[in-house]
Chain A
Amino acid sequence: LQVPGVEVSTGSLGHGLPMAVGVAYALRARGRDAQRVFVLTGDAELNEGSNWEAIMHAGSARLPNLTLIVVDNRSSNVVLGEIAAKLRAFGWDAVTVDGHDHDDLRDAYTRRGDGPTAVVAVV
């Protein structure tokens, strides 16, 4: 950990989510399921195939301690369609919220089901 608070250098897109899946697994193996893992991505980062590998796997692995935050600022030049619908198709509990609304964000972040959750924050 070279920068306090920054656990992973994810400047290269598509690396953070697979690593977060591993952290979620590791916490479960250590018996620390209550500890949650948040991973921050963006709509354009979801172009990377490695994310969809991890999304597919985490959806089937049912990791309730994992939360994916997608900042959807329409930065991708490729139209992805509704991101939350795609995540739900992969088995995630996904909601879309106004990324400027703190109450909505808090509600979304505190959801916990029997599998991974995703918050698509539109800004």
Chain B
Amino acid sequence: MTSMREEAMAAVVDVFQRDDDVALVMADISLDYLRPAVAHDPRRAINVGIMEQSAVGVAAGFALEGYHPIVHTLAPFLSERPLEQIKLDFGYQGLGGLFISAGASYDYGESGGTHHAGGDVQALGSIPRIEVLVPGSPAETGQLVRSTYANGRPTYLRTSTVENDEPVELAPGGLTVVRRGPDVTVIAAGPFLSRTLAALDGIDATVLYATTLVPLDAETLAREAAPAAEVVLVEPVYEGTTAGQVATALAHRPTRLLSIGVPRRFLKRYGTAEQHDAELGLDAGAIRERIRAFLG
């Protein structure tokens, strides 16, 4: 089965080969997947090595000359180490580029805190003009690479080893109505949709599936939210990352918000993503208990 990361890389190779205005900047990661792009045109497929600040700067240089640059490496080294380069070289400079990460949150749970990235969406989301995408399946990932690589704004696409059971046909704007129900509004982001749906078994909820976390589609949320005051946000990043945007979108009405996400602490125990889910209360059973308790 193809992973989100593999699908993202395949889509990158595809757009690179079809569009001469695409430039690819690598930082020594996923080179095997991207080799066809280098073979196609090595002048615009550059592996700078393990230097993420310069990878982003070089990509901005390509953008200055009219290219659509794509930069790829692991999540912490794409979102946190070169944060200022993305902020200034792309954000402030008014350029567009697609930044694709691998290894979301605690996907690489066995590698320890150096390779965890629960804060990527919050850190990058602080940059004006940026778009932050959190697909939940390989199919959505490929689709989002193709639809955003030339959008003219800094765009972060977070691939994960955790996936939903089924891909979703995405609505424009990045917030898709999965089902409608009166008792609670649940916003489930990216690869946490499947476990959220499992947790809602027996609860008549409106479920909105978010694949764009920045900017959150406030219009759709305001329009589709169930009448009940209760709103639950389930996201695969630090708890509360998107809570402010949810509150702003629903400011016209009373709302009680439960934020479920990755606890804001360093994870000092080593294990697989599934083991961390259990440890952190982020599997379907634990999410169900929290929602039940919240609804009373």
A29-B41 in contact (CB<8A)? yes
CB neighbours (8 Å) of B208 from chain A are none
* A28 interface residue per 8 A CB criterion: yes
A21-B65 in contact (CB<8A)? no
With A8-B89, A22-B25 known, 6 other A-B pairs at CB within 8 A are A18-B54, A19-B57, A20-B61, A26-B65, A53-B51, A57-B49
Name which residue of chain A comes closest to B94, CB basis.
A2
A19-B60 in contact (CB<8A)? yes
CB neighbours (8 Å) of A25 from chain B are 23, 43-44, 46, 58, 61-62
B64-A17 in contact (CB<8A)? no
* A73 interface residue per 8 A CB criterion: no
Name which residue of chain B comes closest to A51, CB basis.
B54
* A68 interface residue per 8 A CB criterion: no
**Could you give 25 example pairs across A and B, Cβ below 8 Å?**
A2-B94, A9-B93, A15-B57, A15-B89, A18-B56, A18-B57, A19-B60, A19-B89, A21-B54, A21-B57, A22-B61, A22-B64, A23-B61, A25-B46, A26-B23, A26-B65, A26-B66, A27-B65, A29-B41, A29-B62, A49-B53, A53-B48, A57-B49, A57-B54, A61-B46
CB neighbours (8 Å) of A8 from chain B are 64, 89, 93
Binary per-residue interface labels of chain A (1-18) against chain B in the complex, 1 for a CB within 8 Å, 0 otherwise = 010000111001011011
* B59 interface residue per 8 A CB criterion: yes
Chain A residues 54 to 105 lying within 8 A of chain B, measured CB to CB, are 54, 56-57, 61
CB neighbours (8 Å) of B25 from chain A are 22
* B85 interface residue per 8 A CB criterion: yes
Smallest beta-carbon distance A22→chain B, Å: 2
* A30 interface residue per 8 A CB criterion: yes
* B88 interface residue per 8 A CB criterion: yes
CB neighbours (8 Å) of B88 from chain A are 9, 12, 15
* B294 interface residue per 8 A CB criterion: no
Which of A12, A14, A15: most chain B CB closer than 10 A?
Answer: A15
Which of B48, B61, B94: most chain A CB closer than 10 A?
Answer: B61
A50-B53 in contact (CB<8A)? yes
* A24 interface residue per 8 A CB criterion: yes
Q: Which residue of the partner chain, among A19, A54, A56, A57, contacts B64 with CB atoms under 8 Å?
A: A19
B85-A26 in contact (CB<8A)? no
B interface residues, Cβ below 8 angstroms from A? 23, 25, 41, 43-44, 46, 48-49, 51, 53-54, 56-67, 69, 84-85, 88-89, 92-94
Smallest beta-carbon distance B188→chain A, Å: 37
Smallest beta-carbon distance B129→chain A, Å: 15
B41-A26 in contact (CB<8A)? no
Q: 7 shortest A-B CB distances, which residue pairs?
A: A22-B61, A18-B57, A26-B65, A22-B58, A53-B51, A29-B43, A53-B54
CB neighbours (8 Å) of B92 from chain A are 9
CB neighbours (8 Å) of B57 from chain A are 15, 17-19, 21-22, 50, 54
A24-B53 in contact (CB<8A)? no
CB neighbours (8 Å) of B53 from chain A are 14, 18, 49-50, 53
With A29-B23, A57-B49 as known contacts, state yes or no: A24 contacts B61, CB within 8 Å.
Answer: yes
With A30-B65, A57-B49, A57-B51 as known contacts, state yes or no: A50 contacts B85, CB within 8 Å.
Answer: yes
Distance, CA A18 to CA B25, complexed state (A): 12
Distance, CA A16 to CA B258, complexed state (A): 44
